[in-house]
Chains A and B, each alone.
Chain A
């Protein structure tokens, strides 16, 4: 199918964007690589589309204090190819490089990816899993005001929690000594059927773990209690599997043609363990 009638506009500055959003009927689109699927099958109909892919002021990678800040319209390809990201946050570099394929990463953006959870046709969200694992945040602008949102709360929302005039300026990823992203899929360039991001550090001689999983349920899910178990008992402890089961006892595991819910429940401890091990190796932590 092809999209229904719509009005196309473009914002070249965040000021433009603010004004367009203020009209009330505008939907921002960055790379559009998820959104377009819904526009084409008409599961989503928009009256005005605001193309924000040319907001060059929001396409950047910078290290700010102890966090990496990525502009919202930075393409996944740019993040995946960025040497600084690879060196400082391997989990993010891997996640960005594993979204779909080269062509889609050339248009798709990190900001768009974390909003993927709320599209009707998909709930793909790789960058969001990394953001949840490191307990990151989003910089959200409304008019002239910029505020910080907790990423985990943002990502867990049933529907897009942004207010009418809000737009995402950037994502902030607190850094750790080692990080990793493990992603299972039926084919290499395919929807994830379970992914895990881990951030590990040694703080005062003690192991510190940040952990989240994706595509296990329909939203990225931080697993703090599992992280605490690993910190206390070590990654090789049988209590890790028990902690995974306990942490997800009330979670509704997702069912899709790629993998059923039971599968996702089964592989959860596997991907958690693999991601933490890989992050420890990457961070030189034993």
Chain B
């Protein structure tokens, strides 16, 4: 006999003749008893999110790897995406919503807030549930215990360090002790008197920590249909026939969209970047030919996601398989073409030359060559792409909620592709679960929009993790050939670089990645003085996924090239690598410094950054440690890489353009609303911008609400990419505030019957002589209500309480010189990254044991946020160089389409990260700030490679391939041993 809650047991279902595919469950969720009849196949994660409405439980993969959905079942952490609802029958379940509330955080949640243990917040609920379970079973965990306990939870933003510190701090606090995180060595910015410069906590964290975040998939209108996408199983195939009739006839299926249907109704993808590139004509779904594995063939809209996926199996497609191109060599050879109407497979071919390159090589004392192939990888944000489209048949308006970094460009692109008036389209961005560059296009995001237009109903597409790997944006994957001429003292005489990027099927329309090789060409000389330079950059198409931006966008290519070259050259010349760097640095007194290709470096102190890194790593003692270890058979290595982070790109003829607008509005009650076209994607700009406004307006950050991501609310702005927030977003916000301050001063003076120059700004208002004083609230009330503008606003001042400022960079120069030099970046943040590694030469495994970044991003607004960006970037850089590799086989099949096989770092893969700061303010921005956030993945890979090469120097290994996977390492070690 079954017990009352064991409805699914044998006895209760045995007497039914027909198979019954639903199950009755009774369970307790966060203390509340629930009874429901659910499909036997329903995932428990769907029950929690949809049936219970507990959307704090997030899903970031489909196969139990990411841990974002972690909750407690009978007190133990489990992953409900790997459970059926029926399996929770009779259980006690606790989700993140059981821990604390936005008003009253639990001690663990409060520790996460205090230690900045979250950025985008998407992994946070699962992370908290794993941490809570750990603390319940072990009140005194070590750092290693903590890291191992959260290996089932992947965070892509924080680099884990602040999460680990949060958990250790909560544990210490519960024991009545105080936890002090081991601080990174080096200088930190001095504590500031004002709000700018203070590492204040982020007010947004309260909701993100408690399940009150609003990610795109969290709030669905009644009757929302779900999208499932049928994708090409072949990398290159002609589409002979698509028959959707059986799928369309299935219960619950509303519409099945094909490429032909979309082509008959709408326009192809508009180009998103074109600096003399070859463009393709492509459609949201393949029409005649599929050009990569994973290209959409048909899209289903159905009543629930299970039915939508059921329908995919009923769509019949006949393919004629064509030979795929999967390598740069095959693409250049050109006998097979990706686009039949192209002359070749070359989409971009750009060159630059200035100075006497050939003469320099002829007279050089040393000529150093280095070539390498760099693998393909991707951002893998924990929230994949999500788009919810709601077409209102009554008004003709289209609202698109999406997880994007750039709402306005998306709106324009939607308008162009759909042929709809742009004002009819509203793009709304709520919380974004990470982006890192791959959420800057409207590629597959247009599918639910089209389905909504076809059905007249709201339609959501929640990208699966497999889809994100197949058709989300890929980056890197290039060949580099470098040659450098040095004089006898090791000074660079000339540099040549030739880069070819594998742009997959598209680097201009579906996504805009091809420009990253162009950026590499501009910045090939890195942090060094190079008097003669010749470079060529090509992008070729192949039958792989589209090529797009990912944290770095070519700065990583340039950096990896020059910083690897420095170490290789040092060995050949017979100098210490850092001595070679020092001899070639642009010196602190030489800024602003224009390099040959046109960019103007704003400020910096490279020798000091290198000195800081050497000091932090114990450089002077390392050789002795290394030799002692080697005597024990342990291979230790120490490596450095300078980092140059051009930020605030302003690219003509592209969605990466050159203006940003902020509107600052004072409310009648005297508080402030900042409207910015920048986008918070978890990096924390709403906190940092509130600090800026607070200082400019003499109020507290809590008096400022920052709005972004709604095209019906904020002025046209370009969003979060190219680390442009530090230049464009901060400057436009500060300038808008200064303009509003002047307006308020005039109104205040008029109301107090004083001269504006007699007023002194003070907290929340102005003071005048003779004890006269006025609060912002009195001004706001006075202008809008009591008595009103006629009596309070002076002549010549418009009767409103807002100012709008559009900031443009003065440093940008789009007219090329005759040699082709241009200036498209405003800021140049810099750094020196250093890594210590241990290599197991028997197993090929590399462990990064220490890492440090000396970092200079000009004026720092919120040091806690800046450190968090550096940590997260370093973790991505470690993952990139050791483990993350998108691998295609010869048929063009992508071999890793899961977070089990695409190996992003876990907490146990990232060592303690030290960060030191220099502040070299930019003369080109309002506050001296510079864009930052991309430095980690730009500088870390070369530092780790240089460290590994240093460790393996006794074996004569030169690293020419990436990533440093154990199998590759064993081969390179064997080759080194054979030749040395």
Contacts and interface: CB of A to CB of B under 8 A. Distances in A.
Contacts of B971: 262
A263 B970 CA distance: 7
Contacts of B77: 102-103, 106
Contacts, number: 175
Given A8-B8, A9-B13, A191-B900, A259 B965 contact: yes
A12 B152 contact: no
B25 to A, nearest CB: 10
A77 B76 CA distance: 10
A20 B10 CA distance: 8
Contact of B41 (A3, A20, A188, A259): A3
Contacts of A260: 967
B84 interface: yes
Interface in A6-41: 6-12, 16, 19-20, 32-33, 36-37, 40-41
A103 B87 contact: no
A184 interface: yes
Nearest to B13: A9
Contacts of B464: 1
Given A2-B306, A103-B77, A10 B9 contact: yes
Interface residues of A, number: 55
A42 B906 CA distance: 27
B9 A188 contact: no
A6 B40 CA distance: 6
Interface string A170-197: 0000000000000010111111010000
A149 B215 CA distance: 52
B6 interface: yes
B64 A33 contact: yes
A103 B86 contact: no
A107 interface: yes
Contact of A107 (B10, B11, B83, B965): B83
Contact of B67 (A37, A48, A103): A103
B778 interface: no
A101 interface: yes
Contacts of A4: 41, 310
B880 to A, nearest CB: 14
B86 A6 contact: no
A268 to B, nearest CB: 11
Contacts of A190: 900, 903, 906
Q: How large is the interface on B (under 10, 10 to 19, 20 to 34, 35 or more residues)?
A: 35 or more
B151 interface: yes
B84 to A, nearest CB: 6
B908 A188 contact: yes
A258 interface: yes
Contact of A9 (B9, B887, B901): B9
Interface in A86-108: 100-104, 106-107
B842 interface: yes
Interface string A263-280: 100110011000000000
A203 interface: no
Interface stretch (B15-23, B642-650, B730-738, B789-797): B15-23
A7 B151 contact: no
A12 B41 contact: no
B35 interface: no
Nearest to B69: A103
Given A106-B77, A187-B903, A258-B901, A267 B64 contact: no
A33 B64 CA distance: 8
Contact of A5 (B13, B41, B87): B41
Interface string B812-844: 000000000000000000000000000000111
Contacts of B63: 36-37, 40-41, 121
Nearest to B308: A2
A163 interface: no
A256 to B, nearest CB: 8
B883 interface: yes
Among A48, A53, A104, A191, max chain B CB count under 10 A is at A104
A189 B76 contact: no
Nearest to A262: B967
Contacts of A16: 9-11
Nearest to B71: A103
A36 B152 contact: no
Contacts of A101: 67, 151-153
A7 B887 CA distance: 37
Of the listed residues B62, B149, B895, the one surrounded by the most CB atoms of chain A closer than 10 A to its CB is B62
A189 B86 CA distance: 28
Contact of A187 (B9, B87, B883): B883
Contacts of B967: 259-260, 262-263
B256 interface: no
A257 interface: yes
A44 interface: no
A40 B8 contact: no
Contacts of A1: 62, 309, 464, 466
A102 B970 contact: no
A67 interface: no
A11 B9 contact: yes
B896 interface: yes
A215 B906 CA distance: 21
Contacts of B244: none
Contact of B909 (A12, A187, A191): A187
Contacts of A68: none
Contacts of A20: 10
B556 to A, nearest CB: 22
A113 to B, nearest CB: 14
B10 A11 contact: yes
Given A6-B41, A188-B151, A270-B843, A12 B310 contact: no
A48 B306 CA distance: 17
Given A106-B78, A257-B901, A2 B309 contact: yes
Contacts of A191: 900
Interface in B446-480: 464, 466
A224 B547 CA distance: 50
B87 A32 contact: yes
Nearest to B907: A188
Interface string A104-142: 101100000000000001000000000000000000000
Given A8-B84, A10-B86, A263-B967, A189 B152 contact: yes
B82 A102 contact: no
Contacts of A282: none
A69 interface: no
A101 B40 CA distance: 26
Contact of A51 (B8, B148, B908): B8
A36 B310 contact: no
A12 B883 contact: no
B257 to A, nearest CB: 19
A12 B39 CA distance: 20
Interface string B939-980: 000000000000000000000000001110011000000000
A32 B306 CA distance: 19
A61 interface: no
Nearest to B45: A2
A109 to B, nearest CB: 13
8 contacts: A2-B306, A12-B10, A41-B62, A103-B130, A106-B77, A186-B883, A189-B906, A258-B901
| Closest CB pairs A-B (n = 6) | A101-B152, A8-B40, A189-B151, A263-B967, A188-B908, A10-B8
Given A101-B151, A184-B845, A263-B966, 4 more contacts: A7-B21, A9-B10, A258-B901, A263-B970
